[in-house]
Structure 1
Amino acid sequence: MSGSLDNLNDDNRELVTFPNGARLVLDPMPHLQTTSVGVWVDAGARDETPENNGIAHLLEHMAFKGAGGLGARELVERVEDRGGVMNASTGYERTGFYVRCLAEDAADMLDISAGLALDQQLPEDELEREKGVVVQEIGEASDQAEDLVFELAQAASWPDHAIGRSVLGTEASLKDISCAQLRDFVETNYVANRVVMSVAGHFDRDQIIAQSQKWLEPLKAGAAPIRLKPEYGNGAIVRERDTEQAHMVLSFPAPDSRTQDRFAARLFEEIFGGGMSSRLYQEVREKRGLAYTIDAEFDSYADTGRFNVYCGCDPSDTMEVQKIVKELWLEFANAGPSEAELKRAIAIQKAQFAMSSEGPSARASSGAYELFTFDRLINLSEALVAIDKVSLDEVKLCAQNSTQGKATASCVGPANCLDAAFNFTQG
């Protein structure tokens, strides 16, 4: 076959790179009875303009209206007749189409996944109907305060940039998108060097190779995406809602997903607000009883990132909660973690990496993510060693660097709680 074969991992994964730049990840797990197959594309909402915001996600929807020579109903019946589960997702930087199935059906299900990603029919008579479905999805997200507060946080953190806009788009931005524009988006972004086919689980290697040749070899290479680095914002965005709880997201900048600092960032996230032993959980929930849910997350992209603290609390407590969060954040930046905290966080992170490596769906997705992010496959052992090497000073410096940046916040709830978000961003 054409293409070069490199054994890059000590975990038995194989990477096949085709002459046009398309790549195939083979991740055998022969002890399983199932397989996860999929095709991922290095394209998403950050490749949109304000005028066509939502086109990447709309394209994902439209793919299920007919692809790979099968109609909409044929697609789902072909998968579900064999007990498979088919899905897709669109993010800011990549889009994926995937199926979980029995091992004996892996090649056939990969054929369907590849058709969804690389051979969409895009029927004109389905476009307006599907736009209506997406508008309902937008409405559903807006109705959920927990979802809306993160949309607002995204806009506050990266204003005037594609990463700051909703992946779903808006009713106004979807209105004028045509099938011709969808095809243009595919032609520009769904090119060989931005496509990864990934298979994890129990499968027949020769059958998978045959499918990869069928779908990947004919693809044309294209230009790398032109993505402007976003500037981190400063300020708060709030939305008044008659809710029982106030929902807040409090944020500071964080490392991007490609830097080695990402390991220290994961450990800071874990110590600060990752679990029940975290500082936020112990102080805000256990000690003071101010919230049922409070946690932290490390949200990263290729060239930017942020730490978020989410809290759902009584509207009358938002001012106190944001004050405690900020004080704890600054205290962490000043003093750093304890040895016991770091040891616990390392154990948790290593366990999470190991647990995710045992699921074929996570492994298939991870193969694509690693290639898009690092241009190589990352051994599990390499990641675990990197986590083990993170020092107290590195975690402390990560917290310090975050608080030296601009603060952003969002809040959804009654009018009397909204000032808390603005207070967090000041001083």
Structure 2
Amino acid sequence: SSLDIVKFIEGLGGSFDAYTTKENLIIVTKFLSEHIADVFNLISELLLESEIAEKELIKEKSVILEEIKSNNEDPSDYVFDLLFKGLFPDHPMGLPIAGSEETVKRIDSKKTKEFYRALLKKEIVIAISGNFKYPEFVELAKSKFSHLNCGETNRTKPQTNMRRIIIQRKNEISQVHCVFGIPGVEYSSPLRYCFSILNAAFGGGMSSRLFQALREKEGLVYNVQSFIDLYSDCGVSGFYFTCDKKNLPAVAKQLKRIFSDIHKNGFRRDEIELAKTYLSGNLLLSLESSTNRMLRFGREMIQLKKINSIDSIINHLKSINEKKINELIKDYLTPQNYTIAAVGPVDKEEIEEIFGSINI
């Protein structure tokens, strides 16, 4: 039972978690090194011997339905579901990870078992970080999972939409949660490091254009940040902010000024150098966490089939100059190409009127 599992792992002084992303199912455990064999036994039993009883499935469906309700009532989460729906309207990438109430209610044990059997035939990556003996790890992995006939995952490359506006009106909240998004590059793209630098300079840090203009200088927003999401065959870049509805016209005015200046003058060399130092520093600091190391290993093996060294990543960042970054501006920082999603006391017509003015 689930209680037996958590008692077992906590009895070893460890922790256990599992979650899904747009593309992957991830199981994470953290434990003392002397218990590595016990933990491998637990994970192999979970993956290979789960019964998926109808009674337990009914309870889990109830939990997921509560999760969906919680997500839909949290505008900071729900607005990103709307964005992906707008960017990928005819592809699973456009669907919320937890599904909808309708799809969850249709799930039964037969469908779940069929899906799970198919899932185990796909590529499985085991990543580990910490105090362990490599030969012992390899032998444990082979003994538990070498019999699996895993293969590559077949995917249909998503087609993306440009410039859509999707609104969920919620009069019960006072702020507007707004996200602008545009198709980006996939994880394996050689441009991903350029995108990381562009993102940091544009809105990824406290010294960035967006943060300084919208929060520090004008005080129009509390939360503003840009982002990049990299997947196996697609990507999304954009920016997110929350503000009072009455501040939206002023935010639009500042965005127009920021975009116009970037298109006219590009990013300065000092901005790019600062962004590179910021990214390199954050990468080095992440090494203090064995969990962060493990997750990076796993993701790079899934996406790249290899693990890049920290030195190679930092050297790659250092090699990028402002010319390479500014070449991306036309394709990825042009406001009229963004899909816009918003949640709050606004209508689509209001958003179109306010943010149509930032086109350049």
TM-score by length of 1: 0.79
| Residue 261 of structure 2: aligned partner | 331
Once the two structures are superposed, residues 270-307 of structure 1 have per-residue CA deviations (whole angstroms, 9 ceiling, x without a partner) of 11111211111111111111011111111221222222
Residue identity matched to 2:169 = E
Q: Which moved more, 1:395-404 or 1:253-262?
A: 395-404
Shift of 1:95: 1.1
Shift of 1:266: 0.6
Identify the match of residue 292 of structure 1 among 222, 225, 231. Answer: 222
CA distance in 1 between partners of 2:42 and 2:59 (Å): 23
Kept in 2, the 8 Å contact 1:248–1:312? The answer is yes
Shift of 1:326: 4.4
Residue identity matched to 2:18 = A
The correspondence of residues 370-409 of structure 1 with structure 2, limited to 5 A, is 370-403=300-333, 406-409=337-340
| Residue 70 of structure 2: aligned partner | 140
Higher strand share: 1
For 1:198, what is the secondary structure of its paired residue? coil
| Residue 13 of structure 1: aligned partner | none
Q: Which moved more, 1:157-166 or 1:316-325?
A: 316-325
CA distance in 1 between partners of 2:242 and 2:83 (Å): 14
RMSD: 2.0
Residue identity matched to 2:128 = V
Aligned length: 356
CA distance in 2 between partners of 1:201 and 1:312 (Å): 39
Shift of 1:425: 6.4
Question: After the TM superposition, which segments of 4 or more aligned residues of structure 1 sit over 4 Å from their partners?
Answer: none
Q: Which moved more, 1:366-375 or 1:133-142?
A: 366-375
Kept in 2, the 8 Å contact 1:230–1:304? The answer is no
TM-score by length of 2: 0.92
Shift of 1:373: 0.8
Same amino acid, percent of matched pairs? 23
Once the two structures are superposed, residues 131-174 of structure 1 have per-residue CA deviations (whole angstroms, 9 ceiling, x without a partner) of 11100000011111111111111111221211111001001011
Shift of 1:323: 4.0
1:125 maps to 2:55: yes
For 2:125, what is the secondary structure of its paired residue? strand
Residue identity matched to 1:158 = F
For 1:199, what is the secondary structure of its paired residue? coil
| Residue 345 of structure 2: aligned partner | 414
Identify the match of residue 217 of structure 1 among 131, 142, 146. Answer: 146
Shift of 1:107: 2.7
Kept in 1, the 8 Å contact 2:286–2:292? The answer is yes
The correspondence of residues 202-351 of structure 1 with structure 2, limited to 5 A, is 202-222=131-151, 224-241=153-170, 242-351=172-281
Residue identity matched to 1:412 = V
Kept in 2, the 8 Å contact 1:297–1:309? The answer is yes
Residue identity matched to 1:210 = E
**Shift in CA distance, 382/118, structure 1 to aligned 2, threshold 3 Å:** farther
Q: Which moved more, 1:366-375 or 1:209-218?
A: 209-218
For 2:166, what is the secondary structure of its paired residue? strand
Kept in 2, the 8 Å contact 1:244–1:314? The answer is yes
Q: Which moved more, 1:79-88 or 1:213-222?
A: 213-222
Shift of 1:418: 7.0
Shift of 1:254: 2.0
Residue identity matched to 2:342 = C
| Residue 96 of structure 1: aligned partner | 26
**Shift in CA distance, 235/155, structure 1 to aligned 2, threshold 3 Å:** same
Residue identity matched to 2:202 = F
CA distance in 1 between partners of 2:240 and 2:349 (Å): 15
| Residue 39 of structure 1: aligned partner | none
Shift of 1:310: 0.9
**Shift in CA distance, 417/333, structure 1 to aligned 2, threshold 3 Å:** same
| Residue 40 of structure 2: aligned partner | 110
| Residue 30 of structure 1: aligned partner | none
For 1:195, what is the secondary structure of its paired residue? coil
Residue identity matched to 1:165 = L
Q: Which moved more, 1:134-143 or 1:315-324?
A: 315-324
For 2:128, what is the secondary structure of its paired residue? strand
**Shift in CA distance, 394/223, structure 1 to aligned 2, threshold 3 Å:** closer
Kept in 1, the 8 Å contact 2:127–2:297? The answer is yes
Higher helix share: 2
**Shift in CA distance, 422/226, structure 1 to aligned 2, threshold 3 Å:** farther
1:171 maps to 2:82: no
| Residue 197 of structure 1: aligned partner | 126
Kept in 2, the 8 Å contact 1:188–1:222? The answer is no
Residue identity matched to 1:262 = R
For 1:298, what is the secondary structure of its paired residue? strand
Q: Which moved more, 1:205-214 or 1:387-396?
A: 205-214
Q: Which moved more, 1:341-350 or 1:95-104?
A: 95-104
Provide structure 1 residue ranges, at least 5 long, that are not aligned to the other structure.
Answer: 1-70
Kept in 1, the 8 Å contact 2:169–2:347? The answer is no
**Shift in CA distance, 420/100, structure 1 to aligned 2, threshold 3 Å:** same
